[in-house]
Structure 1
Amino acid sequence: MAVHEVFLILAMAVVVSAIDGTWYDARATFYGDMGGGETMQGACGYGDLIKQGYGLATTALSTALFNEGLSCGACFEIYCSNAPKSCIPKAAPIIVTATNFCPPNYTKTKDIWCNPPQKHFDLSMPMFTKIAYYKAGVIPVRYRRVLCSKRGGVKFEIKGNPNWTLVLIYNVGGAGDVNAVSIKGSNTQWIAMTRNWGQNWQTGTVLTGQSLSFQVTVSDGTKIEFDNAVPAGWQFGQTYDGGKNF
């Protein structure tokens, strides 16, 4: 490890809490432009990342890191490593949230960065150019999982129809990646939800006209209960703030 890499890690240690202190090797590219429009939406189910608070500090993950969508919402600290012609000297590590999937392409014979078993980050262009020169294209990086720092409470966006409730859970702090959700209407007991895709969780129980509570568990096992996070007069398409975060 180069001397400047040791310096960067020590400098960040005072402000970043690592979930796993080990640094792992991977590669990184970028997609989209500096405006980040191409990074909106994506395989995690998040919509307008600017409005949802993620901004452009985001990444798509290769199959080896995506965990079939369960890694959505996880945060990673990343720095460019051992590529003097590509890495910006003394650039501070970036912290990004996983919001999309970088799919494998089995028709290609080169530049197959997102194919298994490779660990790869497809960063937004603004994040890539904080640690490496634009012309580099693809760079070796080192990364580790860190706690997510989010403003405001966990958000619950209610979608679906009267017979099927789909809830997008976002702006999750702490470990960030939601691994289990239960929902409770004011007239029901706790109901375990199943993951539909990304961070969209579903139930077929009729819940219209009831206030809604949630129990949300992230990957490190931490669970928070959000009592009456959604009022009885809720409507499909609306988003509610849980009032607290991990």
Structure 2
Amino acid sequence: MTAAMIRAGTSLLLLQVLFTTVAAHFSSSSSSSSSSSSATLSEWRSGRATYYAAADPRDAVGGACGYGDLVKSGYGMATVGLSESLFERGQICGACFELRCVDDLRWCIPGTSIIVTATNFCAPNYGFPADGGGHCNPPNNHFVLPIEAFEKIAIWKAANMPVHYRRIKCRKEGGVRFALDGSGIFLSVLISNVGGAGDIVGVKIKGSRTGWLPMGRNWGQNWHLNADLKNQPLSFEITASDGITLTSYNVAPKGWNFGQTFEGKQFES
């Protein structure tokens, strides 16, 4: 699949949704490998944030990361849609950010911040300039929040609010989730509820009769390959953007089926 095709498919999805970041406590598990600073940045940077209404159905539809119904999938309202300059063509999906309101004493709620998970994309609108209505146009670092999250840091009348943001580690309840889909020899796996860095950059899968097989990113955090893995227990090796690798053996039992979701180990904080 070409970059243009991925971009086009993603843009269609984004007409419907905006995405998220979530904070939840998670249990630890084994992990290894080197780490970089990409997922643990503590430097505050400048951006802006807007919100969408509570009655908007986008959370039930899902988003550009493929998580589906954000409430049912455990992300709730602690989510965010990112502008193009932050979205990284979907690789950032699952990463966590802390946001706080700044520079507007009329609307900011002092001493507050929120932690959200990236679950969606805010498509640019080139009919407007970046400084005149095109909130999600490059080079803007823009966040679109559910109003429930926005109102934890600012009064809703603030609308397009200046914020400071920073990338932080994700804390999740339970283990990483692997949702299996596909047909025949085509297998698609949605990876969600990822702690630590939150965003996955590499996935391998192993059946009881195979070695480790690399999977390709389809879109968001959906990964795929063509291989006959039916009637084999499945193990996963996932690598986060900070270089840490987590291996979960026999996540899915021998009799797994498409449409099922299984839980593996979790990254440590």
TM-score, length basis structure 2: 0.82
Give the aligned residue type for 1:86: W
Match status 1:78 vs 2:99:
yes
Distance in 2, matches of 1:223 and 1:100, equals 24
Secondary structure of the 1:130 match is coil
**1:83 Cα shift?**
1.0
Q: Paired residue for 2:120?
A: 100
Distance in 2, matches of 1:146 and 1:213, equals 28
Structure 2 counterparts to residues 45-124 of structure 1, below 5 A: 45-90=66-111, 92-109=112-129, 110-124=132-146
Match status 1:30 vs 2:64:
no
Q: Paired residue for 2:258?
A: 236
Structure 2 counterparts to residues 118-133 of structure 1, below 5 A: 118-133=140-155
Structure 2 counterparts to residues 169-208 of structure 1, below 5 A: 169-208=191-230
Query: What are the superposed Cα offsets for residues 67-125 of structure 1, whole Å, 9 maximum, x if unpaired?
Result: 000000000000001111221233x1100000000000111242111001110000111
Q: Which has the higher contact order (CA 8 A, sep 6+)?
A: 2
**1:36 Cα shift?**
6.3
What 5-or-longer segments of structure 1 have no aligned partner? 1-14
Identity within the alignment, %: 50
Secondary structure of the 2:195 match is coil
Superposed CA RMSD: 1.5
Secondary structure of the 1:193 match is strand
Quick check: 2:101–2:163 contact (8 Å CA) kept in 1?
Answer: yes
What 5-or-longer segments of structure 2 have no aligned partner? 1-24, 26-38
Secondary structure of the 2:152 match is helix
Secondary structure of the 2:120 match is strand
Match status 1:221 vs 2:232:
no
Deviating above 2 A after TM superposition, structure 1's stretches of 4 or more consecutive aligned residues are 35-40, 243-246
Distance in 1, matches of 2:185 and 2:148, equals 42
Distance in 2, matches of 1:244 and 1:144, equals 22
Match status 1:150 vs 2:167:
no
**1:243 Cα shift?**
4.0
Distance in 2, matches of 1:155 and 1:192, equals 18
